[in-house]
Chains A and B, each alone.
Chain A
């Protein structure tokens, strides 16, 4: 099968790849590079577990062709914090008990980060936070604590992370 050369910036590192044209960013992240933080589930942009940041904005990596990410900056949950130095959202999720099975959490945290950066300069309402994560499903139904955690970071940082 045809392979096309592609350089992707992922978590600040440049990756030289050979990709098939139909490969999605999610496939490249998980299967080619081995970053398994973004999850594979609905593959139709309904559930949000595949969310990554593309140029700082939350996107569904399951419906984005890897080739569409040429020249752009990708951040996955692996690039957000380290075990020694967690991102404030990661700390808040732990503090508020927002993580149950954990499957949706990478997408949830990156969705929240994108949203808080977008509303930077003001503290979003709880309703806005609910709407912000409407495209990111948690089936443990831990939403209350997830919203608590995001609201806490929003209040501490006035939006923006």
Chain B
């Protein structure tokens, strides 16, 4: 095991280093995944570009109509930030169930997105919130939709020299709520067997004005359940309508059998958790406790 650790003094220095080293370079944020992969000898990077010292990447900023989350914001920072208590609470709910306290204290949102695990908990609410990712390269900065950014298990559209700099989340309109649910084999320290994030907006008549549903650990990337979303929009959200949305979502996902669960069980979980997450959103909009 041999590599050099670089400590850039600024984001532009970091991306300049990344461009210089190309495929031999890796950004190091919390390291909760990267260092383990290096220890397991699955990854032989020659140059680690340590972002730890770049405080500007740590900020979580209220920019009026959107929240800008710096790539180095930790899961703990998301969990504890008041910006994620109201309509955006699904983000805090997802951040809270990642690993144990020690991992949440160092693991970052940027790392979670860049790793592109299909089971990444925080990615599900970000997808339901139609988040955008800001990628900074040596030559240019671009802003892409998270759903386009995710290309496959561990694969993204990030170029070799590009840094996931921020993720932007638009604030939902009034009468909106979000919810996140996770199924694992135990209550803590668990990788999701299935996770579901929902975002709902109701109109004044109580009909669904907008619905977004994201499913984790049931396809090659975290995915949106668009047929279910379309079935909800414009409808009065009766129990039957919510159950139908669950069936549509279960029919649209592509789970696999693995050590954690069978594909069939994962589909059943999607069918059960989608209506439950939607119902929680409805409760939150109507102001009842959940």
Contact = CB atoms under 8 A, between A and B. Distances in A.
Contact of A65 (B28, B101, B103): B28
Contact of A67 (B1, B5, B188, B189): B5
B251 interface: no
A134 B189 contact: yes
Interface string B97-121: 0011111011000000000000000
Contacts of A132: 101
Contacts of B155: none
Given A24-B35, A64-B31, A68-B31, A135 B4 contact: no
Interface string B59-91: 000000000000000001000100000000000
B32 interface: yes
A57 B38 contact: no
Given A59-B105, A67-B7, A70-B7, A45 B2 contact: no
Given A44-B36, A65-B31, A60 B102 contact: yes
Contacts of B53: 70-71
A22 B2 contact: yes
A114 B187 CA distance: 21
B76 A45 contact: no
A48 B35 contact: no
Interface magnitude class on chain B: 20 to 34
A51 B35 contact: no
Interface string A103-139: 0000000010011001000000000001110111000
A36 B210 CA distance: 56
B52 interface: yes
A52 B106 CA distance: 12
B207 to A, nearest CB: 37
B189 A46 contact: yes
Most buried by B among A51, A71, A135: A135
B102 A45 contact: yes
A65 B49 CA distance: 12
Nearest to B52: A68
B50 interface: yes
B7 A22 contact: no
B36 A134 contact: no
Contacts of B101: 58, 111, 114-115, 132, 134-135
A63 B36 contact: yes
Contacts of B32: 45, 60, 63
Interface in A1-27: 1-2, 4, 21-22, 24
B3 interface: yes
A109 B134 CA distance: 39
Contact of A135 (B3, B50, B102): B102
Contact of B35 (A58, A64, A134): A64
Nearest to B39: A43
Contact of B105 (A4, A58, A134): A58
A14 B103 CA distance: 26
Nearest to A46: B189
A67 B50 CA distance: 9
A67 to B, nearest CB: 5
Contacts of A131: 187-188
A46 B190 CA distance: 10
Given A59-B106, A68-B28, A71-B53, A135 B36 contact: no
B102 A111 contact: yes
A114 to B, nearest CB: 7
A130 B3 CA distance: 39
Contacts of B80: 118
A79 to B, nearest CB: 17
Interface in B21-72: 28, 31-32, 35-36, 38-39, 48, 50, 52-53
Given A22-B2, A65-B28, 12 more contacts: A21-B48, A22-B1, A46-B189, A57-B76, A63-B32, A63-B35, A64-B35, A67-B5, A115-B101, A134-B187, A134-B188, A135-B101
15 contacts: A22-B2, A45-B32, A48-B102, A60-B32, A64-B31, A65-B48, A67-B5, A67-B50, A68-B50, A70-B7, A71-B53, A118-B80, A131-B188, A135-B101, A136-B102
